[in-house]
Structure 1
Amino acid sequence: MNNRQGCQVHSRIARGQADDLPAFHTSAREAHLAGQLARPFDDPVWRAEASYPFHVAALARRYRVSTHSAERKDGLLKLGEGTARTLGILVLRELIAHHGSFTRSLRKSFSQGATFGTWTTLIQRFLDEVPAPQLPELIALHEHNVTQSLLKEIKDLRNGFHHAHGVRRDHELDEDVEKLEPPVVSALSSVNWLSSTDWFWVERCEYLDESSFQAVGLRLRGSHPSWEPLSRPINHPLRPERVYVDGTPPGEPIDLWPLAMVSLCPDCRTRELFLLNQIANGTAVLRSLEEHELTIPYPADSQN
């Protein structure tokens, strides 16, 4: 083989190796992407951030990106209470439907504003009083009663922290995080069925024919703060300006008014999701995740 032939052979080999490089890099990138997509299925916090209702998903993200011990502790406490609040809104809607109205005894729970204990008490009432919920996913609370005990454990830990005197040192904060993280992560894992619920806001309901309608609105997906457009066919009309929740597969969407509302925040002028916090003196106060408040008139109910 002369020098010219040798150079041609080496050139072809080099070109062949170069041709293989893009395929190698593509496979590596695809494997990395597959790992990122699969991670939420292995990590309850990632799964919550990616697919749970917004008031849990956003708090899951805040905890995941926290670094200092004090931030991690605060993030875990907020995530535990946010999980209880989201469940509490759903079970409160079931209790209202079960009793036929937002009764006085239910409203009394919100006279001083909702607390962690308010939500766990409502969840227990749901377990005691509602055997067949309208939202099928809530059956999981009956079948696996571990969620309620985990939420109570988180609440008790939080109360214990609040009763501690003085400023917590770094090693004490680390110990608090070690105590909090297992029940919070276990509680998140126990309600993985929340991924199957779809919360959405109806802007308008379009008539198609006698038994067909189109709901047009917005929804929040996972922890992302921006609203995305929604359009879905339904077989009965939905009331505009209302928040609905539905399961998987889709059934009959459940109206969450007055427990959840979407409105332009008067403070920041952005559209936010507000959840019920207090009912007193003929008004209902709803609060967003940013601690902004929305007040609406809501007359008292005469029923017990």
Structure 2
Amino acid sequence: MYSPAYSALSAIGNTPFVQLRNIVPPQCADIFLKLEYLNPTGSYKDRMAQAIIEEAEQRGTLRPGMTVVECTAGSTGTALAFVCAVKGYRFRVISSDAFAKEKLQSMRALGADIQLVPSEGGRITPDLIPRMIGVASELAQHPENYWTHQFENRDAIEGYRKMGREILQQCPAGVNVFLAAVGTAGMLSGVSLELKQVSPGTQVIALEPAESPLLTQGVKGNHSIDGVGVGFIPPLLSAETYDEVRAVPEAQARETARLLAAREGIFAGTSTGLNVAAALYLGCQLGPGYTVVTVACDSGMKYLAGGLFDY
């Protein structure tokens, strides 16, 4: 018999790990997907939010009565709003009209105070995230505000290392390749550290939108995939945590997200489509006998108003 959890935070993590079967071509490697959209707010960002808040509490840099501040495309903000609601902190979020409306609504529902930075035609341009960071930096000057600083906060990596340990437990035969789209790079780095600690030969591949190939070509660009391709090289992305970078066209990411829903029953967003598109391509290159693992980042419920699932 299960006993009651102390709080809703206990629901973070220990997400399912499933093998894709219906969209995987013949003579392809085994493709596994970690269903992170089954965390409480529908994304893996819950892991990061809990880690950076609780580490700050332990250091004494975040104390009762203070306000938490962050700039976010939405999933981080929703996760932080959730953790702050449980723990009783006020939360001030800097976001933009470029991001999914559902994510903004979720943050408000969880008690966040939202300030929007206007975009250029609803697109994620190279200057958008830096402008949002600038607003958050100004708010952080107030002594009663705590800026979680997701792009540089290494506490996030510790939150994601647990995810890496879960993958190792759920895939005892071993992981040949792990790949994931890069936003803050905290998830890729945390999972990579755990996988490579057990098996240094595991290949870790960072992914980005082909429309903004900063990591692969040094070129910034515009795209509409929330939470990735942020317009600068994230400080948490270190050379020792990944082996290669690949770019995936946004159209392919969107088509794969729709295919996942229709053929696998996995209802996830555009960044998940990007991850799985790259996993399928690589799996076909490797062939049978290999194991490729990636992540379902967040729920498709966050994208219903944005046209991803309009047919």
TM range (shorter): under 0.3
What TM-score does the superposition give when structure 2 sets the normalisation length?
0.24
What TM-score does the superposition give when structure 1 sets the normalisation length?
0.25
